[in-house]
Amino acid sequence: MDDMIDNNMSGEKEAMKKVMQAMFAVNDITLYLDTHPQDRNALTLHNQYVKEFEMAKTKYEEKYGPLSMYAEMNTWEWGYDKWPWEGGIR
């Protein structure tokens, strides 16, 4: 049973890592575009990273629940998990 819980936590952490990597890429290319707004290649990369972020976020939310209050929800489950200081994993 503990292995199943560990695997689930590992899967959630890996999914969150993908969300964070994509978010970092979007933020980083955005900073570059602030100083190089005419760089078409950078704009193409920005759009690619935004799509990757949206896909990673969607996959995470479908399996583990909303990441923010802006996510669509079928039931109101926002805030029902334990908070990090209560031993929650998020």
Tens digit of pLDDT at every position of the chain (90 positions): 445 445 566 899 999 999 999 999 999 999 999 999 999 999 999 999 999 999 999 999 999 888 887 877 777 666 666 766 776 665
73 is a domain residue: no
Instruction: Decide: 47 and 29 in contact? Cβ < 8 Å.
Output: no
The pLDDT, as a whole number, for residue 57 is 95
> Containing H/E element for 25?
helix 2-35
Q: Give Cβ neighbours of residue 43 (< 8 Å, ≥ 6 apart).
A: 33
Instruction: Decide: 55 and 15 in contact? Cβ < 8 Å.
Output: no
72 is a domain residue: no
Which residue range is the domain that position 51 belongs to? 19-62
Beta strands in the chain (DSSP E): none
Helices and strands, counts by H and E, the chain = 2, 0
39 is a domain residue: yes
Instruction: Decide: 39 and 87 in contact? Cβ < 8 Å.
Output: no
For the chain, how many structural domains are there in total?
1
45 is a domain residue: yes
The pLDDT, as a whole number, for residue 86 is 74
pTM as predicted: 0.74
74 is a domain residue: no
